[in-house]
């Protein structure tokens, strides 16, 4: 038997339990953020949902913000990995217009299903002073936008714009920011009377998107 392996063997179960506890804490934090936003992500509630003591949280994370950073990054990475597997089937249609409409519906559904989590993510990124975290979070979000742009470029034969990739990036960001404001901020200009319905807004976004490319 290799003495090196023997010396490390007793630590493996401990390390595995520690990883399992950390993952439960991340998932509990994400669940509470999704349920009630930043206001609901309190250490006692997170610990209770994860089935550990509050002291266990601080043995693994320096403070609440460190736990929130880890949870947000974990959720973003999981979402990105899932998107790479499923986005092509969910997004691509026979024509550019069909694919763009699918994109709008997907974005609206995302903000409708997870408003508290997405609002919390936006608020936390805006306020956090840890620039390394902010940079990593934005890089993951940017990678997801890159994936959408690459998929829509498969309709290149319908695009007449001189710089299709740049135009697509602008249009995806514009649509995402517009739908985010419409969905998460009841005081946004999108809700000035007469307020556009989701169907009306989708129609206008699709028309503007496709017209710009054509």
pLDDT for residue 10:
45
Q: What does 172-207 look like in DSSP terms, one character per residue?
A: HHHHHHHHHHHHH-TTSGGGSSSPPPHHHHHHHHHH
pLDDT of residue 2: 42
Q: Tell me what pLDDT residue 14 has.
A: 56
Can you give the pLDDT at residue 5?
Answer: 43
Q: Give residue 126's pLDDT.
A: 96
pLDDT, residue 8, reads: 39
Could you tell me the two tokens for 21? 């506890």
Give 104-151 pLDDT, tens digit per residue: 999 999 999 999 999 999 999 999 999 999 999 999 999 999 999 999
| Rounded Cα gap, residues 177 and 89, in angstroms | 24
Q: What is the pLDDT of residue 1?
A: 38
CA distance 213 to 208: 9
**Pair of tokens at residue 189:** 């200009």
Tokens 């959720």 sit on residue: 75
Please give the pLDDT value at position 6.
36
The pLDDT, as a whole number, for residue 75 is 97
Nearest CA among 96, 113, 102 for reference residue 202: 102
- Residues in the chain where the model's pLDDT stays below 50: 1-13
């Amino acid at each position: 038997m290799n003495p090196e392996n023997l010396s490390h063997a007793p630590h493996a179960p401990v390390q595995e339990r520690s990883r399992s506890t950390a993952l439960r804490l991340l998932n509990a934090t994400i669940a509470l953020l999704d349920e009630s936003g930043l206001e609901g992500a309190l250490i006692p509630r997170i610990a209770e949902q994860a089935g550990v003591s509050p002291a266990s949280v601080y043995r693994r994370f320096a403070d609440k913000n460190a736990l929130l950073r880890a949870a947000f990054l974990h959720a973003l990475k999981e979402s990105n990995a899932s998107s790479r597997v499923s986005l092509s089937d969910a997004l691509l249609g026979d024509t550019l217009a069909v694919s763009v409409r699918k994109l709008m519906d997907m974005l609206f559904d995302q903000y409708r299903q997870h408003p508290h989590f997405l609002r919390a993510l936006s608020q936390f990124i805006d306020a956090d002073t840890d620039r390394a975290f902010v940079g990593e979070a934005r890089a993951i979000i940017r990678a997801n936008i890159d994936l959408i742009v690459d998929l829509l470029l498969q309709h290149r034969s319908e695009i007449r714009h001189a710089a299709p990739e740049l135009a697509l990036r602008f249009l995806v960001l514009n649509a995402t920011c517009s739908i985010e404001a419409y969905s998460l901020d009841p005081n946004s200009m999108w809700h000035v009377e007469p307020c556009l319905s989701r169907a009306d807004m989708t129609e206008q976004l699709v028309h503007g998107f496709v017209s710009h490319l054509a």
